[in-house]
Amino acid sequence: MKKIDNILIGSDPELFIYNKDKAEIVSAIPFIPGTKEQPYVIGDKGYALQTDNILAEFNIPPCKTVEEFLHHMNYMKAYIQDHVAKIDPALTLLHMPDGHLKEEELQHPQAKEIGCSEDYDAWRDGEVNPKPAEFPGTLRTVGMHIHIGYSDPIAPINILIVKFFDLFLGVPSVLIEPKNERRQVYGNAGSFRHCRYGVEARILSGYFLGNDELLKWTYNNTQLAIKEANKYLNDDEDSIDIDVLKEDILEAMGGNVEVAKQLVETFEIPMV
């Protein structure tokens, strides 16, 4: 059976721009260079910056270690903070799963756009997820998608990885992040995209970009999910029968805190 090896982990996190003087979230569009079609490339190491709807979004080079992951994420957070503060010292970064903006911040045509290409549901054998028609009112949501590269990727392995990602990151995320409305729109259990190098798990919110402890937890639990997926592929005696847990995982990620706590305790999932 195939083994998931030569693993690289990357991310394309989103974040809010926050005006401290006004005490409100503002659109990133006037302040952040780059678009999805033409990202603003920073240096030659694989960093890029852009806007997505009213959010700032960046990407980092793929990482082999948690130290690399922390370095790249913090480099870009510092770069964006420095960039917006030069424009207006009142501007800073805000790492939350969702937030509401004033209508005046949502007048740009890009602020009406929702999503880009479709994503898929690992728990429905990779079927296409319905694309949201629009954001509910002034709500905007923030993601921190995790990209997992490995040797010779194939669709069934991508789906397996995402199921274990749900257990080891999606379920505990319900207990870690503040209560929010994000999963009305994005980030439901099993959300993923196939990539030429592997898979993009689209479950986590931008809250996990907030500090080093959350970032280390994200990287380490991603590696743990892959380790458990490999044990499943190898039919190890102590492997987790992930499909048996489907209903519990869906229930937990749907907001059932008690089920989430039970899964975390049963499988000794590291928390932060």
pLDDT tens for the chain, 272 residues: list them: 679 999 999 999 999 999 999 999 999 999 999 998 999 999 999 999 999 999 999 999 999 999 999 999 999 999 999 999 999 999 999 999 999 999 999 999 999 988 667 899 999 999 999 888 788 999 999 999 999 999 999 999 999 999 999 999 999 999 999 999 998 888 899 999 999 999 999 999 999 999 999 999 999 999 999 999 999 999 999 999 999 999 999 999 999 999 999 999 999 999 99
The predicted pLDDT at position 186 comes to 87
Provide the terminal-to-terminal Cα distance of the chain, rounded to the nearest Å. Answer: 33
Q: Distance between CA atoms of 243 and 52, rounded to whole angstroms?
A: 34
- Quick one: pLDDT at residue 1? 61
| pLDDT value for 61 | 97
Nearest C-alpha neighbor of 139 from the set 185, 93, 170: 185
Consecutive H or E run containing 144: strand 144-149
Q: Which CA distances in Å does 146 have to 23, 166, 251? A: 30, 12, 22
How buried is residue 162: exposed, middle or buried, by Cβ count under 10 Å (0-12/13-18/19+)? buried
Instruction: Give the per-residue pLDDT at 124.
Output: 97
Structure tokens at 16: 């809010």
- Show the tokens assigned to 223: 């590696």
- The DSSP element (H or E) to which 118 belongs, if any, is none
Helix (H, G, I), strand (E, B) or coil at 169: helix
Classify 141 in phi/psi space as left (phi over 0), alpha (psi -120 to 50) or beta: beta
Q: What is the pLDDT of residue 133?
A: 77
Instruction: Identify whether the C-beta of residue 253 lies closer than 8 Å to the C-beta of residue 171.
Output: yes
DSSP state of 205: B
Amino acid present at 155: A
pLDDT at 116: 64
